[in-house]
Structure 1
Amino acid sequence: MRRRIAVILLVLLLLFGGAVFYAAWRVYWKPNVAASPFGPAYLYIRTGASFLEVLDSLERQELLLEPATFAWLAERRGYPTHIRPGRYLVNFGTSNARLLDKLMLGQQDTVAFQLDAFKYKPQLARQVARQLETDSSALRKLLRNNSFLKQRYQLDTTTILTLFLPGPYRFVWNTSAQQFLDSAAAMHARFWTAQRRRRADSLGLSPTEVHVLASIVQRETAKPKDKPIIAGVYLNRLHHGMRLQADPTLLWAIGNFGVKRVLNKDKLVDSPYNTYKHKGLPPGPITSANRQSLDAVLKPTAHTYYFFCARPDRSGYSDFAETYAEHKQNARRYQHTLDSLQILR
């Protein structure tokens, strides 16, 4: 009889132990992240989000097979008071324990951020807001804060566009407005090597002035072959005290980059960006210059051209001239093309 009781107790103990182990395995280690038919799944946790909001996001995206077990374990591990914002890759088959480890340690995945060239600061804020959590209004506020920009980046509200190099970046999703600017400043500092600074000095330009001139070159042409030639034209004009007479700066001044044909009345606009009226460079860039445009200014083609005009074949290339008489002939050919296409503006 005693032996029988012992066997029964042993069986019950094993059953109980098995049940406990299964319950623990189900809550802690059982794969609980569902497969996604749309590829990698991401959990976005906004700054200041509550535990209920995190659970709601998980359930709305149907990321968990058993939300209840995740919620139970999260409560026991104190996750509701240790929520860290970010963008988290949630891999298929991940257990509750491993998912909580990732969330509580803030092991978020970075975002591949593409900064496109922009002309106005609000365009930058919109780009950032589309790809990151960064508060666009906070970013716009910092970009308008002259004392902050001067103290932190030695730039002002006019020259701040020179801080940004279009191209690929990597950010954590919940990057703040100031962290975004600091990252752009770090990229800017890496671009401006000692060699590039020496090149700028040899041209009699500061890095900021290189950015301003590169922004004009960039608006003039998308052709890599023409960029250093056009940069050389403008540097020739600067070094000989001539006005730049750059149409892109005029379009900035009138606030219309869609104009195909600059008219004489446009050249009368009262603006420091009107390089038909004012000598030297405008006070700031007219777009965020990319590396190719910057290097075109730093390595200009040496020549004796002072003028250039778009080719009449509308290829995007330019015809260059040493004298104004040659330039007028080139300009007439281009204007004839515009006339034939009935492009009046």
Structure 2
Amino acid sequence: MIHNLTTSRRFWLIFLLTLSLTVLAGLGAAWYVLWKPNVRYSAFGPAYLYIRTGTGYEAVLDSLRKYELLHDEATFDRVARWQNYPARVQPGRYLLRPGLGNRALVELLSRGEQDTVAFTLDAFKYKPQLARQVARQLETDSVSLRRLLQDNADLQRRYQLDTTSILTLFLPGAYRLLWNTSARQFLDSAAATHRRFWTPERRRRADSLGLSPAEVHVLASIVQRETAQKTDKPLIAGAYLNRLRRGMRLQADPTLLWAIGNFGVKRVLNKDKLVDSPYNTYKHKGLPPGPITSANRQSLDAVLKPARHNYVFFCARPGGSGFSDFAETFAEHKKNARRYQHWLDSLGVKR
């Protein structure tokens, strides 16, 4: 009887030990497949996985393999198929942290928890420049964006702007956007930033000047091309507003450069003033039909808060400082202009 009990105890002890080892082995295997960190560490900074719109699961695997983002592609593939990820692929830009295991990675991708892009919109002069900028930083297709920018009926309906004035919608600066932002979503995001900028106070200031927000953008774009000096911007804005109030032509050289398509010109010639363009403010009174660059906040606020003075003329100051010399009379202005021309002559600048 005692012998039988001892044998029974041995049996159960061996059984429990075997079961424990099996469970531990199973847990170890599960940890290895599901939770063991599987994203490679990159010495070059954060690792990102880009999944283009319309991309399938095989393309995701190709990207993971091509850029060597995983330690073990086979275990990721197994977990991805267990969790039906191939049917739930979502586009985007995903930050892959080194500590991520397969289960966490698959859940991240399945839920579409993508990282945003710190998108910088630099000042631009023409629509193709805008489209190229966006396409370089986002998935947005430049052709689709250019097509939307030329759809007058759509622009009027959605943004109350036409194909020329639509360029007043964009404020240079930093944005945070999803990488797979579409052309439409990009325009809507720009419109939302534009609305936030145009506070009731700024709108009241524009009204007091007799300008619409779009016209403020146009004038600010000219001011921006005239100088990068913060203190000169309100002075130049005030001079242009004085001209508009007196019914004078703006005679703004930057508008000529936009019309001839050459912003590298240092010396405007009389033949430039003959260019046949609505942007030629030597020929046409008032503001040009659209901005000649995307005006930044500083230039816009310079127009909305112009310096109060009687100047109607100004000329770049010799020396290349970016500052201007201002004048109330044409005779005084001619003296300033001659000093600047002599300085260009001394440098041998012909154009």
Q: TM-score range by the shorter chain?
A: over 0.9
Give RMSD over aligned pairs: 0.9
Q: In the alignment, which of 242, 259, 268 is matched to residue 265 of structure 2?
A: 259
**1:50 is matched with which residue?**
56
SS of equivalent to 2:229: coil
Identify the range of structure 1 (53-62 vs 199-208) with the bigger mean alpha-carbon deviation. Answer: 53-62
SS of equivalent to 1:329: helix
**1:210 is matched with which residue?**
216
**2:136 is matched with which residue?**
130
SS of equivalent to 1:168: strand
SS of equivalent to 2:100: coil
Task: Note the C-alpha offset of 1:134.
Answer: 0.8
Task: Note the C-alpha offset of 1:11.
Answer: 2.6
Q: TM-score of the superposition, structure 2-length normalised?
A: 0.97
- Residue 192 of structure 1 aligns with an amino acid whose one-letter code is W
Cα offsets for 1:81-102 (capped at 9, x unmatched): 0001111111112111111111
Q: In the alignment, which of 293, 305, 314 is matched to residue 311 of structure 2?
A: 305
Unaligned runs of 5+ in 1: none
Task: Note the C-alpha offset of 1:326.
Answer: 0.3
The alignment status of 1:79 with 2:92, answered yes or no, reads no
Q: TM-score of the superposition, structure 1-length normalised?
A: 0.98
Q: In the alignment, which of 331, 337, 342 is matched to residue 331 of structure 1?
A: 337
SS of equivalent to 1:59: helix
Matches within 5 A, 1:138-287: 138-287=144-293
SS of equivalent to 1:44: strand
- Residue 105 of structure 2 aligns with an amino acid whose one-letter code is L
Task: Note the C-alpha offset of 1:66.
Answer: 1.3
Unaligned runs of 5+ in 2: 1-6
- Residue identity over aligned pairs, in percent, reads 72
The alignment status of 1:100 with 2:77, answered yes or no, reads no
Distance (Å, rounded) in 2 between the aligned partners of 1:338 and 1:249: 21
SS of equivalent to 1:230: helix
Q: In the alignment, which of 68, 73, 90 is matched to residue 62 of structure 1?
A: 68
The alignment status of 1:22 with 2:41, answered yes or no, reads no
Task: Note the C-alpha offset of 1:300.
Answer: 0.3
Task: Note the C-alpha offset of 1:50.
Answer: 1.3
Distance (Å, rounded) in 1 between the aligned partners of 2:320 and 2:176: 37
Distance (Å, rounded) in 2 between the aligned partners of 1:307 and 1:266: 19
Cα offsets for 1:134-159 (capped at 9, x unmatched): 11111111011111111100011111
Cα offsets for 1:289-335 (capped at 9, x unmatched): 00000000000000000100001122110000000000000001100
**1:121 is matched with which residue?**
127
Task: Note the C-alpha offset of 1:255.
Answer: 1.3
The alignment status of 1:88 with 2:90, answered yes or no, reads no
Q: Number of matched residues? A: 345
Cα offsets for 1:40-84 (capped at 9, x unmatched): 111111111111111111122222111111100100100000001
Distance (Å, rounded) in 1 between the aligned partners of 2:119 and 2:25: 48
Distance (Å, rounded) in 1 between the aligned partners of 2:103 and 2:264: 56
Task: Note the C-alpha offset of 1:8.
Answer: 2.9
Distance (Å, rounded) in 2 between the aligned partners of 1:285 and 1:37: 44
